[in-house]
């Protein structure tokens, strides 16, 4: 009887700890903005670039990645693109990749803008706003700085200054 009781105690408390612990941990990970949280893995994607070739996030495992969501209709997005271009030039030898995901616009519109702006980093094309929704984007531009292991280092909502971009990229490079 006494031994049995111990077993019941351990099993019940362990179950409470497991189920309860899971529920409590879950409550920490849900958040206000719906954006991916720092330290979490960012969602995978496989999208077409401007040449129509597939580019997946997993192609960049082990590299620091900057994911920028932008649209031609978003003036601050367009304004910050030259800064990203310069930062791309500065960091590309250290393996930093910039993936700029366009918000489901036409090929023609996007390529015209990219040509006009002289952007050389990778432009990707979201479809049906699916990737955007998976990342929980609510306003544009939004930029994710992703560590080499695919976890989120930081996220910035709004137009970025070049110094801010530099600071955040140097963080993910050092990681």
Residues of this chain that interact with other proteins (CB under 8 A) are: 5-6, 8-10, 12-13, 16, 19-20, 22-24, 26-28, 30, 32, 44-48, 54, 56, 71-73, 75, 103-109, 112, 126-128, 130-131, 133-134, 138-139
CB of 66 to other proteins, least distance (A): 20
CB of 145 to other proteins, least distance (A): 22
**Residue with the two structure tokens 């070049």:** 162
Longest dimension (CA), the chain: 81
Residue nearer to other proteins on the CB measure, 86 or 130: 130
CB of 100 to other proteins, least distance (A): 15
* Residue closest to 140 by CA, chosen among 41, 64, 35: 35
CB of 14 to other proteins, least distance (A): 11
CA distances from 5 to 1, 18, 88, 150 (A): 6, 20, 64, 46
The CA dihedral of 79, 83, 84, 90, to the nearest 10 degrees, is 170
């Amino acid at each position: 009887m006494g031994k049995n009781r111990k077993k019941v105690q351990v099993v019940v408390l362990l179950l409470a700890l497991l189920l309860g612990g899971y529920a409590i941990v879950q409550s920490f990970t849900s958040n206000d903005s719906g954006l991916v949280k720092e330290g979490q893995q960012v969602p995978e994607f496989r999208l077409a670039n401007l040449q129509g070739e597939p580019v997946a996030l997993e192609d960049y495992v082990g590299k620091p990645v900057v994911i920028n969501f932008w649209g031609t209709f978003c003036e601050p997005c367009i304004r910050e693109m030259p800064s990203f271009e310069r930062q791309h030039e500065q960091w590309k030898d250290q393996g930093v990749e910039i993936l700029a995901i366009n918000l489901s616009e036409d090929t023609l519109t996007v390529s015209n803008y990219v040509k006009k702006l002289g952007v050389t980093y990778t432009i990707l094309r979201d479809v049906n706003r699916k990737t955007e929704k998976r990342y929980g984007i609510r306003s544009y531009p939004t930029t994710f700085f992703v560590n080499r292991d695919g976890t989120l280092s930081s996220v910035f909502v709004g137009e970025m200054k070049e110094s801010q971009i530099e600071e955040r990229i140097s963080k993910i490079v050092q990681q």
